[in-house]
Amino acid sequence: MRTLVTLILLFTSSVPLAALEVPSLRSRVTDQADLLSPEQEAQLESKLAEFEQQESTQIAVLIIPSLEGEVLEDFSHRAASQWQLGQKGRDNGALLLVALQERRVRIEVGYGLEPKLTDALSRRIIDQEIVPRFQQGNFFEGIDAGITAMMGAVRGTYAPLSTRDKAPQFPSPLIPLFLFLLWSLFWSRRSRRSRSLRRRSGHLHAEDVWMMGGPRYPGSFGGGFRSGGGFSGGGGSFGGGGASGRW
Amino acid sequence: MKKGLLIGLGALVLLIIIFGLMLQGSYNELVRLDQETETRWAQVQNVYQRRADLVPNLVATVKGYAAHEREVLQEVTESRSRVGSVQLSPDMLNNPAAFQRFQEAQGALSTALSRLLLVVERYPELKANQNFLELQSQLEGTENRIAVERKRFNEAAQAYNTRVRQFPTNLIAGFFGFHPRLYFQAAPGTERAPTVDFSS
């Protein structure tokens, strides 16, 4: 379904599609500019992994050599959305993006973290923790201080998820089929009535929710996104929260 | 002979079932896309409202330091109140005049706000004010959210419109009264509110 919509968009979209490609997600620290040594990457990685264990919040770091003319905020949102950082339904993901050539840095905050990691706080983390260190050329220290501050802002907000990474699954393939048949029957009786009702009230009906998989994330049934590596997003969404800065 | 008739009848029933399923699929698809544009529109309005809610506080803070910038402050306040009076419900999303009024009102506020932020450059004390800095980053964040939600709404509306116009769904859409919707149209490069760089 989603691919279909994407395809339709591909061919009809009047908005020019961005050129800069989002790298596939393999680990929490993606360094495309070779800014960090492997040891430093591993250090950040384990820090972030431990944090995710404790808080279920996913924070990732992306370092790119250049934005290639794209708007920082657009690319950042695209990367965070594509990676689906954060747990589905909680949207507790965040991305720290560094664009080397443009000397820009951005913290992109998932919907669920916005109350804790506010725009103002993100901005302060950038201005006070990251930028001063970057200006001295201490990139690792800046990133480390940045994610430490981000974790500090989040800590205590989310209890660890016990059923983490387990998308609800149907026990048998027959059940969806059965549901579908039932629902088709249901639909044929109710279709006209429910549509006129919905038009008036704006409420979602059971069958719509079933179709959409929840009101806010239509068509994205988590899963489907499992790269062979050690890390993948949990299905979180992003609404453009966060802050940008430059050094 | 009888066997042939039975097979023919079976095939007919099967065809009818397949046709019915196709019809149902298309219809449900339309309902889903329709619903999604409405959800997205609600989000667009949320973020615009969020911006409007920031304005009084921002104006009050700026006034404390730059009270004689009356013209700009007044422009912001006026466009803010105009935005409040131009609401657009989802069922008006196929009314070009109303949609344009909405866009113009929000655009006027965007312009007024960026002028205000330019004026502020002349007041170093204000720029050092913690309260102002917080408001400013909230405003920037909200402008970014507006860009995101507008884009999402446009994507939803385009997916819906494509479906409504495509053959053979367009027949079903016509029959059940699904109409194409408007979406934000901006010249390239103007989709984002102009950002003001304070760091230099």
Share of chain A above pLDDT 90, in %: 39
* Minimal C-alpha gap between A237 and chain B (Å): 12
**Which DSSP state fits B191?**
S
Cα distances (angstroms) measured from residue A190 to each of A197, A206, B45: 10, 12, 31
CATH hierarchy code of domain B2-176: 1.20.1440.20
Kindly give the pairing relationship between strand A238-246 and strand A104-110: antiparallel
Q: Note the helical H segments in B66-129.
A: 70-85, 96-120, 124-128
**Which among A13, A211, A216 is the nearest to B28, CB-wise?**
A211
Residues of A in contact with B173 (CB under 8 A): none
> Which sequence spans correspond to the domains of chain B?
2-176
Mutate to test the interface with B, among A76, A121, A123, A130 (most CBs of B within 10 A): A123
- Helix or strand run (H / E) with residue A95: strand A93-99
**Which among A13, A207, A215 is the nearest to B158, CB-wise?**
A13
Residue with tokens 């990474």: A165
pLDDT band for B128, please (50, 70, 90 cuts): confident
CA angle at residue B154 from A190 to A123, to 5 degrees? 120
Residues of A in contact with B32 (CB under 8 A): 208, 211-212, 218
**Which DSSP state fits A234?**
B
| Residue B186: predicted pLDDT | 63
Cα distances (angstroms) measured from residue A87 to each of A189, A235, B168: 37, 6, 39
Q: Average pLDDT over chain B, rounded to whole? A: 86
Residues of chain B by 3-state class (helix, strand, coil), percent to 5: 80, 0, 20
**Cβ pair B137:A195 closer than 8 A:** no
Question: First vs last Cα of chain A: how many Å apart?
Answer: 42
- Residue type present at position B76: V
Residues of B in contact with A207 (CB under 8 A): 28
* Cα nearest neighbour of A243 on chain B: B141
What is the interface pTM, i.e. ipTM, of the complex?
0.75
pLDDT band for A204, please (50, 70, 90 cuts): very low
Q: Are A215 and B39 in contact (CB under 8 A)?
A: yes
Separation CA A237–CA A90 (nearest Å): 9
pLDDT tens digits, A124-155: 899 889 999 999 999 999 999 999 999 988 88
pLDDT tens digits, A22-41: 998 889 999 999 999 999 99
Whether the predicted pLDDT of B41 surpasses 60: yes
pLDDT band for A173, please (50, 70, 90 cuts): low
Separation CA A137–CA A128 (nearest Å): 15
Whether the predicted pLDDT of A159 surpasses 50: no
Residue with tokens 């979406």: B183
Q: How many CA atoms lie within 13 A of A108 on its CB side?
A: 34
**Cβ pair B155:A241 closer than 8 A:** no
Separation CA A189–CA A194 (nearest Å): 9
Separation CA A61–CA B197 (nearest Å): 25
Separation CA B145–CA B22 (nearest Å): 38
Q: How many CA atoms lie within 13 A of A166 on its CB side?
A: 7
